Amino acid sequence: MSSRTLTPVSYLVLGLIAERGPATPYELKRRVAGSVGHFWTFPHSQLYAEPARLAREGLLAEQREPAGRRRRTYRLTDAGRGALRRWLAEPTTGSVELRDPGLLKLFFAGQADDEELARLVATQEAAHRARLREYERIESGLAVDQRSRYALATLRMGLRHEQAAVSFWREVSGWLLPGDDAA
Amino acid sequence: MSSRTLTPVSYLVLGLIAERGPATPYELKRRVAGSVGHFWTFPHSQLYAEPARLAREGLLAEQREPAGRRRRTYRLTDAGRGALRRWLAEPTTGSVELRDPGLLKLFFAGQADDEELARLVATQEAAHRARLREYERIESGLAVDQRSRYALATLRMGLRHEQAAVSFWREVSGWLLPGDDAA
DNA sequence: CTCCGTATCGTCCAGGTCGGACGGTTTGGA
DNA sequence: TCCAAACCGTCCGACCTGGACGATACGGAG
């Protein structure tokens, strides 16, 4: 019941349980995999540590299975629901970084020769294109019901980002590389 | 001289020194602030810890100032330059996550009421619009010389991302909120 | 000359985060 | 009966994070 400031992962766990009911850490892991994990990942060890912290603070209630099982199920407490709703209502802080290793390499591309740069550009464009296709596939498979409205919306932001990235990498070699300008 | 696998921060430090010469941690901090810090931030404590690690591994050489000053200057060793070039040449791994707190809130917006959602949408659109303007300002101020070609390119990716985000948040309320559709 | 505000410069630390190694358990099929 | 695969969980060292804290330099106001 102490008072650390909750992290995004905290709210992720609270939110996942609020929306789809009580869960074990393993179940959380699977919920993450199919949804929010697309734009916000973390190792599964977090999904064991964080609920334990939240339970200590009274935001989740822990229920052990009867026998000598290791399984624990967490459900939301009123305090937990309150914390989640307060977070949703409060002004959004925090940075929106684009931690893209490909972009970091591009930033330092002056240290590489043109051939390496060309290879970087090609692989990045291909990677983003692949991700774009994957998102499109997921989108077409997502039911357009009430339940998944918000998941669908976030997915669409991912789609737009990948579209931007694909067109960026397609054009960037024109800005940077000499020779191959068809103009 | 051990053999941990270098992190992106490692290459950031190596790259910054490779491009603009030897530096003290504080100088690194300022180089970061004006450039790559726009899309990849980290606390300044990293800029003290990481060069120390790199020096231990022989990728940087540390030079203390004569007198009892605390100042240390780091310069690139041949091994360091080699590591940087190898990284630039190797296939790019690593995820491209969109860790946007606003997006995370949107994902769980089912737990909030419409008024809160509307407020979230409004503030997010405004925030991205502000960032977009800031990037445009920086872009117009960036000299189009050889030195800053790559910095300019990465900035443009940031620009496109913000454009995508602005249009996303402008449209999202139309998908999600009932009432106010002008159609 | 002294004082003070502002920039410069650096250390330290408690937590959170990371990826992955490792191991036990359950289930279903050969 | 046995094995493989999926299921489920713990643990760990290293790293990252944000910020508190403080020392030092320097210019200008009084």
Q: Which residue has the tokens 């052990």?
A: A64
Q: Residue A50's domain is classified under what CATH number?
A: 1.10.10.10
Answer whether residue B73 is part of any domain.
yes
**Nearest-CA residue of chain A relative to B169?**
A157
Q: Is A58 left (phi over 0), alpha (psi -120 to 50) or beta?
A: left
Q: How far is A7 from chain B (nearest CA, A)?
A: 10
Chain A, 42 to 61: residues with Cβ < 8 Å from chain B are none
Q: How far is B81 from chain A (nearest CA, A)?
A: 9
Answer whether residue B181 is part of any domain.
no
Answer whether residue A95 is part of any domain.
no
Last-in-domain residue among A89, A112, A142:
A89
Answer whether residue B1 is part of any domain.
no
Answer whether residue A25 is part of any domain.
yes
Q: What protein residues sit with their CB closer than 7 Å to strand C?
A: A 4, 7-9, 41-46, 49-50, 53, 69; B 24-27, 44-45, 48, 70-72, 95
How many domains does chain B fold into?
2
Q: How far is the CA of A165 from the C1' of C17 (A)?
A: 27
Answer whether residue B125 is part of any domain.
yes
Residues A2-49: tens digit of each pLDDT: 568 899 999 999 999 999 999 999 999 999 988 898 889 889 999 999
Q: Which residues constitute the domain of residue A61?
A: 8-89
Of B85, B112, B120, the CB nearest to A111: B85
Answer whether residue A96 is part of any domain.
no
Residue B183 binned pLDDT confidence (cut-offs 50, 70, 90): very low
Residues A32 and A80 occupy one common structural domain: yes
Amino acid at A181: D
| Nucleic strand D contacts from chain B, 117-176, CB < 7 Å | none
Last-in-domain residue among B89, B112, B145:
B89
* ipTM entry: 0.89
Residues A132-169: tens digit of each pLDDT: 999 999 888 776 676 788 999 999 999 999 999 999 99
Answer whether residue B82 is part of any domain.
yes
SS (H, E, C) B23-92: ECHHHHHHHHHCCHHHCCCCCHHHHHHHHHHHHHCCCEEEEECCCCCCCEEEEECHHHHHHHHHHHHCCC
Last-in-domain residue among A89, A120, A155:
A89
- Mean pLDDT for chain A overall: 88
Residues B78 and B13 occupy one common structural domain: yes
